Structure 1
Amino acid sequence: MSKTRCQSHTPLKPLSIAVLTVSDSRTRDNDTSGDTLSERIVSAGHVLADRKLLPDDIFQLRAAVSAWIAADDVDCVLITGGTGITGRDSTPEAIGPLLVREIPGFGELFRYYSLEEIGTSTIQSRAFAGTANATLIFGLPGSTGACRTAWDRILEAQLDSRTGPCNFVSLIPRLNE
């Protein structure tokens, strides 16, 4: 379990978070990964700013994420899917050029936690994170279990303004400095 301190005297600063599912086979009816992230976002007290499901197409992915990066009312983007190593997995290639700063620790920590759950298969994940225009961007594997791991073990605390000694929320105003 993570060693974080919740500063209960500090109120939660809700973030506006967009969710993008990348899949050639899922629909809104069976997008359990997008559902899981959306439910956790709202349960944590944040706002679900938008939700999309797009095929593994570099240009469609870039267009959607670019629009969210440019929007003043989106603080964070969670992308699920397209982070594997097959020919159609193109999320890191699509989003990587949009990032101003990478956050390599996210992918490293995700794979560390994932190792406990799926063993050495975790090396097939290219989970990533970064920032662009004061927007936090996280690329997660497409499985519902991976989305639970990423949210429950990393993102929930780091996207909570009450988490100490530090969190991503406190950094958002300074991301463009």
Structure 2
Amino acid sequence: MSRIDEAMEFIPVRIAVLTVSDTRDLSEDRSGDVLVARIAAAGHQLAERRILPDERSQIAAQLRDWCANGDIDVVISTGGTGLTGRDVTVEAHRDVYEKEIDAFGTVFTMVSMNKIGTSAVQSRATGGVANGTYLFALPGSPGACKDAWDEILVRQLDYRHKPCNFVEIMPRLDEHQRRK
């Protein structure tokens, strides 16, 4: 069963938050606010925060910029994961991924089923890795951000989480790019 090993030292990670919305600004970004508050409460560092419109090329460019920034370990986006014509965040993420974390979407769906029932089928939450950086695309609702953080990310971004976590393998995410 999963647990936190209190004997181990907590390692904070640097997380960027991207809200994708054609209509919101920072004063109305409740989902971004949820993520920022939870990042701080967990002891991690907010590296950057931005809002971009639902434009695939702009989203992908921002993700690539953050993946190239050695001061960012994780990018979490919120918004644009639905089924409508303007929902292009998932496609932008997949334009950037080197590897997709397939089980992230599956586990998020399982969590969502417990909260919203079959409406969970409409979410396309996704996770992946690019250039040694973790990327997660969450739905745009504050509830979905709470669920993803509280049920998945808070544990997987904690080095002390056992039996395994994302942080412990961070140094090896880009090993294929290093000389042998």
Q: Place the TM-score, normalised by the shorter chain, in its bin.
A: over 0.9
When the two structures are aligned, how many residues end up with a matched partner? Answer: 175
CA distance in 2, matches of 1:141, 1:167: 22
Displacement of 1:25 after TM fit? 1.4
Displacement of 1:140 after TM fit? 0.3
Displacement of 1:127 after TM fit? 0.3
Give the unaligned 5+ runs of structure 2: 176-180
CA distance in 2, matches of 1:36, 1:111: 19
Q: Does 1:112 align with 2:110?
A: yes
Please report the TM-score for the alignment, with normalisation by the length of structure 2.
Answer: 0.96
State the partner residue of 2:49.
51
State the partner residue of 1:129.
127
SS of the residue 2:81 aligns to: coil
Residue identity opposite 2:117 in structure 1: G
CA distance in 2, matches of 1:90, 1:165: 34
State the partner residue of 2:15.
17
Matches within 5 A, 1:74-89: 74-89=72-87
State the partner residue of 2:153.
155
State the partner residue of 1:145.
143
Cα distance per residue 1:37-78 (max 9 Å; x no partner):
001001100000000011100111011111100000100000
CA distance in 2, matches of 1:89, 1:24: 10
Displacement of 1:166 after TM fit? 0.5
State the partner residue of 1:172.
170
CA distance in 2, matches of 1:113, 1:61: 26
CA distance in 2, matches of 1:120, 1:5: 29
CA distance in 2, matches of 1:71, 1:165: 29
Residue identity opposite 1:152 in structure 2: D
State the partner residue of 2:68.
70
Q: Does 1:28 align with 2:30?
A: no
Residue identity opposite 1:8 in structure 2: E
Identity of aligned residues (%): 51
SS of the residue 1:29 aligns to: helix
CA distance in 2, matches of 1:6, 1:58: 38
CA distance in 1, matches of 2:119, 2:33: 24
CA distance in 2, matches of 1:99, 1:90: 15
* 4+ aligned runs moved over 2 Å, structure 1: none
1:95 corresponds, among 80, 88, 93, to 93
Give the unaligned 5+ runs of structure 1: none
Displacement of 1:174 after TM fit? 0.6
